[in-house]
Amino acid sequence: MTAPSMADRPHQVRLTSNGLTGSVEIDGTDVSSSVQGFNLEARLGSAPLLVLYAAPQTGVQFDGLAHVAVGDQQDPGDAVAAFLANIDPAALSRAALNRDDLDGTPHELTRAMLMQLADMALGKAGA
């Protein structure tokens, strides 16, 4: 039998931040010194989910019940590598060669592929 986690039941949560300083309280206990940031996700019909992270957030205020989970700060390199691993090389080549910003300068194909990858990452149409 595994030990219950904080996410198993909602906890009373109070979040405040003015952009420079902030506080995080869980069940009346100030945990701000252990938390450098958080994400708060809310969906209709269920308690919000508070994920505690290691990056400061700004302009947030919340007071209510929420499920709480401690998140693992993702290395951006991991996300980039996962994104690139799912790129179809043939589709990337076609899309880069069909760009209207090819200009005939040295390294234009490499530049077009990098720009195309950025467009794909942002979910831009035509990517």
Report d(CA 24, CA 69) in Å as an integer.
13
**Alpha carbon distances (Å) from 48 to 41, 62, 67:** 6, 10, 6
Euclidean distance between the first and the last CA atom of the chain, given in angstroms as a whole number: 47
pLDDT at 38: 75
pLDDT at 56: 45
pLDDT at 107: 92
What is the pLDDT tens value at each position of the chain, 127 positions in all? 555 555 567 788 888 887 777 888 888 888 787 776 777 887 778 778 887 764 444 444 556 666 666 555 566 777 788 888 888 899 899 999 998 888 889 999 999 999 999 888 887 755 4
pLDDT at 59: 43
* Residues whose CB falls within 8 Å of the CB of residue 5, separated by 6 or more in sequence, listed in order: 69
Amino acid letter, residue 66: A
pLDDT at 126: 52
Q: For residue 37, give the nearest of 63, 58, 9 by alpha carbon.
A: 58
Which DSSP state fits 7?
G
Query: Would the pTM count as exceeding 0.95?
Result: no
The number of angstroms, rounded, from the C-alpha of 39 to the middle of its chain's C-alpha atoms is: 9
